[in-house]
């Protein structure tokens, strides 16, 4: 008796493919160049999709999960090295005490701005980062659908 094939849906979230992440990363190591979803078809061990469409959906979910997981791993390393995450609870502190450096990390983007100035929205969340001495041409903090929310971390100035 064969096991039932799986169906995958974006609306059901990325937890349905989390167990496939190690196999996806192994397949990713074998790729050269851009990571088109089609390059992963038939190459992820343990994926038993019910249809080609289900396999494409699972690959899309794995792409976003891998991107966010890699970002979070990098942020964890920086937090361990003394960087701090900016939240609505501590944003006012970082307005008054400009950090040495700011990183905006979202959906595959990783932007570092030396001595950046935080722009805080009405809810206390960071909505942007301006380069030192600039009033425009900063980085907007985007929250992309299908990805974990953007994260902003800062490196405190040394006394």
> pLDDT tens digits, residue range 18-27?
999 999 999 9
pLDDT of residue 126: 85
pLDDT for position 101: 94
What confidence score (pLDDT) does residue 85 get? 94
Domain locations along the chain? 10-79, 83-155
Residue 107's alpha-carbon distances to 14, 52, 129, 142, in angstroms, are 14, 25, 17, 9
How much of the chain, in percent, has pLDDT values that exceed 90? 40
pLDDT digits (tens, 9 = 90+) for 31-68: 876 788 888 999 999 998 889 999 999 999 999 899 88
Query: What pLDDT sits at residue 35?
Result: 80
For residues 145-158, average pLDDT? 83
- Can you give the pTM of this predicted structure? 0.77
Looking at residue 106, what is its pLDDT? 81
| Residue 132: predicted pLDDT | 83
Question: What backbone phi and psi angles, to 5 degrees, belong to 149?
Answer: -60, 150
Long-range CB contacts for residues 24-28, cutoff 8 Å, separation at least 24: 24/59, 24/62, 24/65, 24/66, 25/66, 28/66
């Amino acid at each position: 008796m064969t096991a039932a094939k799986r169906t995958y849906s974006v609306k059901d979230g990325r937890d349905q493919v989390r167990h496939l992440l190690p196999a996806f990363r192994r397949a990713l190591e074998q790729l050269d160049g851009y990571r088109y979803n089609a390059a992963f078809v038939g190459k992820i061990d343990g994926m038993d999709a019910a249809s080609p469409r289900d396999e494409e959906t699972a690959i899309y979910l794995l792409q976003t999960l891998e991107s966010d997981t890699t970002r979070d791993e990098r942020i964890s390393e920086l937090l361990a090295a003394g960087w701090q995450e900016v939240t609505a609870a501590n944003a006012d502190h970082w307005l008054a005490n400009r950090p040495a450096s700011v990183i905006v990390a979202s959906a595959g983007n990783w932007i570092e701005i030396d001595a950046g100035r935080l722009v805080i929205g009405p809810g206390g969340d960071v909505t942007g980062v301006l380069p030192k001495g600039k009033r425009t041409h900063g980085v907007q903090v985007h929250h992309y659908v299908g990805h974990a929310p953007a994260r902003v971390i800062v490196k405190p100035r040394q006394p």
